[in-house]
A and B are shown apart, each in its own frame.
Chain A
């Protein structure tokens, strides 16, 4: 337990949230960030799914790391990730059918999410199971946080609502605004704007976190 709470493990969890965020710093997993962020609910579900898959895959690969032959390690990793993704997909279909419908192929495409392969290759193959699991949770969280920020911005300005799991669609922009002539922004719904929002988040993050600015 002492290892679990040590500074080092804490860093594994918090580092991907800011200094080493998979989306805004490593620029991985952009495709799904553009695709599933039109509404907040799918973004949350997608974030949790990726977090579960990353953490479990990291754990399993780390446990097997000494017995996986180096030359076929990618195939082994893919089999593990694919199995986990199928489990997640089935669970979503069973317990959150509507969201699973909205996410459509993007749950299946978690297999190809660069973040997962990246963490397996860069971390799980060389570290102990406990640390690998935490690293997976941290990176999944970092991914989910950015996804949710993008989704909130897009849904708020694009549809005037916020959809939360269990609460349904909340009309955040009051009707009085629309009566005054306010209109929802159709561009925010389109994928290009999601990319611009990612760019703005990167801009904001770098303005706050000077350590990220490359030296010339």
Chain B
């Protein structure tokens, strides 16, 4: 470590202002802060004193994503071998998924970090760590068969239009990863929905194994919405409730396993990085809306009758609630605002799922919608507080 410090100290004068390679400073700074906590001190009154900085915060989120990532890799292989009707060892399944997953991650990080560094150099900013999380989230929320060039374009769109035009990390209105997903969803709908995109190679298969369907549980529910065949005692379609919890069903790569996401959620909550208020109220909102649908459901609408807690298990609900809705930049900031923000995300996600047949999954749209409204929610919470306090002043005076 000491040798490294010495090396960096030797380079530093050359890249600082006035040095020969001053234009490389933001790159140097990125490397230096990766290994050492910056020694810059707040000159004016700091409100919060904490040893953790942006880079460390972001890395903890990435660590929290690893369980979902590992499970996603296994599930890619698992679904693939199911679809061709072969059995494979655990390691073989995992390795298959790993090899399919790596290009997505590399493209996402390559394009995203490349653009971030380009903008930082151009504007004389430091390279920001904001993209470490987005770059990991984006591969986790797309179907495995998404062509790499599409991922690249979506990442570029999210970084430039979603983040850099607003001023970079911390200034964005919407969650960049979800913006990339929304871009893909509206730009290339045929590669983002349907029954074949969720399983590696299924769109090229001549013959799928007997009894296998690439449809996600949400798609199954949307398709069954009209008839009354299904009962929910044993889960949805071919999947038992246990399957839904474990996550061994087709879906976007990281979103399926509630257990893996739960481990990530524990890490985030234990380190205090994600707000439990947002997380809790998203689940409460989804559950509440599901229960409401259960109460008012007509006999013909099977989707409305689905037990409310199923909503929390299937699709991207848990993933969105834990990793997307809690994004500290785009979420509401006030304490009361967080409850309102989270609750409405849950409500609208389930509402879109059940009521709008065009969008089987509502989590993406609902989080983006509430991201837009988060500043407004904060504004009214603060105004309400000011009014309340003013009243108190009048009474005592």
Contacts and interface: CB of A to CB of B under 8 A. Distances in A.
Interface residues of B, number: 13
A186 B147 contact: no
Contact of A185 (B147, B161, B188): B188
Secondary structure dominating the interface of B: helix
B82 to A, nearest CB: 25
B158 to A, nearest CB: 12
Nearest to A192: B186
B186 A187 contact: yes
Nearest to A182: B149
A181 B190 CA distance: 12
Contacts of B147: 181
Interface in B168-195: 183, 186-191
Contacts of A182: 149
Nearest to B182: A187
B165 interface: yes
A182 B188 CA distance: 10
Interface in A180-198: 181-183, 185-188, 190, 196
Nearest to A186: B187
Contacts of B189: 186
B186 to A, nearest CB: 4
A91 B245 CA distance: 66
B128 to A, nearest CB: 20
A183 B191 contact: yes
A190 B185 CA distance: 13
B124 to A, nearest CB: 16
Nearest to A203: B165
Contacts of B187: 185-188
A199 B157 CA distance: 13
B165 A199 contact: yes
A75 to B, nearest CB: 39
B197 to A, nearest CB: 13
Nearest to A183: B188
Contacts of A188: 187
Nearest to B183: A187
A182 B187 CA distance: 12
A189 to B, nearest CB: 9
Contacts of A196: 161
Interface in A52-72: none
Interface in B347-368: none
A199 B164 CA distance: 13
Contacts of B191: 183
Contacts of B161: 196
Interface of A: 181-183, 185-188, 190, 196, 199, 203
5 contacts: A181-B147, A183-B190, A185-B187, A186-B187, A196-B161
What 6 pairs between A and B have smallest CB-CB spacing? A187-B187, A187-B186, A185-B187, A186-B187, A183-B188, A181-B147
